[in-house]
Structure formats: C-alpha cells, structure tokens
Amino acid sequence: MSSREFLREEGIAMTAPKTNPFKAASLTGLLVATMLSASVTLSITQAFAEDVTEDQIVRALAGPKKPLTRGLSMAPQAEAAPAANPEQDKFLQSIRGRSTRSLSTAEREEIAAVAKTKPNIDLEITFDYNSANISQKSMPSVQALGRALTSPDLKGSTFVVAGHTDAAGGDAYNQDLSERRADSIKRYLVEKFGIAGADLVTVGYGKSKLKDPSQPLAEVNRRVQVVNMQSKTAAAK
C-alpha cells in the first residue's frame, strides 16, 4: 500500500494550501494602484519636458542669464554684452540669405564658434520618422518660437537655426537630414509668422556636435538650436 492510500484509509485529510482571497485581492489592487500612479507621474513629467514657453525662449535669446526649465537649456552667457566684433559682423552679413546647402564645412564651423559666445537655446523639436516634417507634438514649441522671435525684444535680430541629429546612421545621411529639418523650421516660421527669410540662417551639423557624447543615441542629441547672432540694435548700425 502506498503512503497516499494509507493516509486516505486512515482518514487523514490531504489538502493543498489555500490562498486567502482577500489577501490576494488586496495585493492585486495595490499593484494596479502602483502602476497607475507611476503612469500618471511619467505622463506629467513628459508633459512638462515638452512645455516650452514663449517667455522662456525670449529670456534665453535676449541675453540675461536666468535659470530655465522644462525641456530646454541655455548655454552660460556673460553678464555683460560683448563688444561689437567687425569681423563677426562681416561674416554674418556674408551668410545672410544663403541656402543651407551652400554653406561650406569651414563656414559651418565658424558659425558654431561664434554661436558659443551668443545667447542660444536648445529646443527639443521632434520630426516624423526619417522625415523633415515637424511632429504634431512639437508644434506648440515651434509656435512658441515663432511668437518669441517676433516679440518686441527679439524682432529684427538675425538668428541661426541649427539642426542636429543623434549618432544613428551615416555621416552623409545625418548631415542631409539635419539640413532639411533646419530648413523645415525656417519655412514654418517664415510662412506662419512672417519672419524675414534673411533673418534666419539655417545650418545642419548632422551628428558632428552631440549634446551628450556619452550617450550618442540619446534623444537629447536630436535637437534644434537657435542662436541670436546679432541684436536688432547692432543690425541697425
């Protein structure tokens, strides 16, 4: 006789451990609540990251050094405006009205060097996959940019609109994509906000100037940088 049969004949009950239904329900509810809370927190964080305002852009490009948040960053700026540089002004005049693809590698690098000394801002503007079409979720940021550039504080200045990609793909592909995306932003600003085309100098850098080189595929590298190259006061002189 097997041990199982012996136990059955002796009247010894053999039952599997039972799960407390109330405890199981409680644990399930707690898990669901935790997941919902995490989802809501993530959604709020993402919403804030994309919420770039006209005022933030104006403050960044007008020059004063003030802390900025919500999906944008401003390079450190000098407290006092630098003295006028005749060579820089001459160079700027030479690239105004030029097409993006007409700029040489040397000219693109000179623009980048000058931009480091000027008020600038990085905007997290996304595009449709493998395309220069501005994504719907980034339209509020582009519209805020348009309102900022036509505000009394900035209207009439000359701006560089620089496109950047992440490190995925080849050099030629990313260079072309960054140029087309910079052109797309310029076209939208000219058509929707009436900004003079000559006041917007577009340039593409592909994957050559990653914002976070330690994470070459990170989303932060896929950006549009706007630089106030020449104030309306300087341009009027």
In a domain, 59, yes or no: yes
In a domain, 14, yes or no: no
In a domain, 34, yes or no: no
Q: Please name which of 111, 230, 122, 133 lies closest in space to residue 188, comparing C-alpha atoms.
A: 133
In a domain, 132, yes or no: yes
Per-residue model confidence (pLDDT) at position 194: 97
In a domain, 208, yes or no: yes
- CA–CA distance from 190 to each of 123, 137, 195 (Å)? 18, 20, 5
User: What CATH number has the domain bearing residue 158?
Assistant: 3.30.1330.60
Q: DSSP H helical segments within the chain, as ranges?
A: 3-9, 21-50, 54-62, 86-95, 105-115, 139-149, 171-193, 232-236
Q: What residue type is assigned to position 91 of the chain?
A: F
Q: What is the mean pLDDT of residues 3-22?
A: 47
Q: What is the mean pLDDT of residues 170-181?
A: 96
Per-residue model confidence (pLDDT) at position 128: 84
In a domain, 17, yes or no: no
Q: Are strands 223-230 and 200-204 parallel, antiparallel or unpaired?
A: unpaired
Which residue did the predictor score with more confidence, 176 or 234? Answer: 176
Strand order of the sheet with strand 158-164?
72-73, 120-123, 223-230, 158-164, 200-204
Q: Are strands 158-164 and 120-123 parallel, antiparallel or unpaired?
A: unpaired
Which residue did the predictor score with more confidence, 79 or 141? Answer: 141
Which residue did the predictor score with more confidence, 109 or 131? Answer: 109
Backbone dihedral angles phi then psi of residue 225, each to the nearest 5 degrees? -100, 135
pLDDT tens sequence across 49-61: 456 899 999 999 9
Which residue did the predictor score with more confidence, 41 or 137? Answer: 137
Confidence of residue 44 (pLDDT cuts 50, 70, 90): very low
In a domain, 3, yes or no: no
Per-residue model confidence (pLDDT) at position 64: 54
Residue 178 clears pLDDT 50, i.e. is over it: yes
pLDDT tens sequence across 84-124: 688 888 999 999 999 999 999 999 999 999 999 999 999 98
What percentage of the chain carries pLDDT values higher than 90? Answer: 55
Give 219's DSSP letter.
G
Confidence of residue 130 (pLDDT cuts 50, 70, 90): confident
Per-residue model confidence (pLDDT) at position 173: 96
Count of domains in the chain?
Answer: 1
Q: Give the residue numbers spanning the domain of 103.
A: 51-75+83-236
Residue 212 clears pLDDT 70, i.e. is over it: yes
In a domain, 33, yes or no: no
Among 7-21, 171-185, 198-212, 223-237, the minimum mean pLDDT is found in: 7-21
Per-residue model confidence (pLDDT) at position 127: 86
Burial tier of 60 (Cβ tally within 10 Å: 0-12, 13-18, 19+): buried
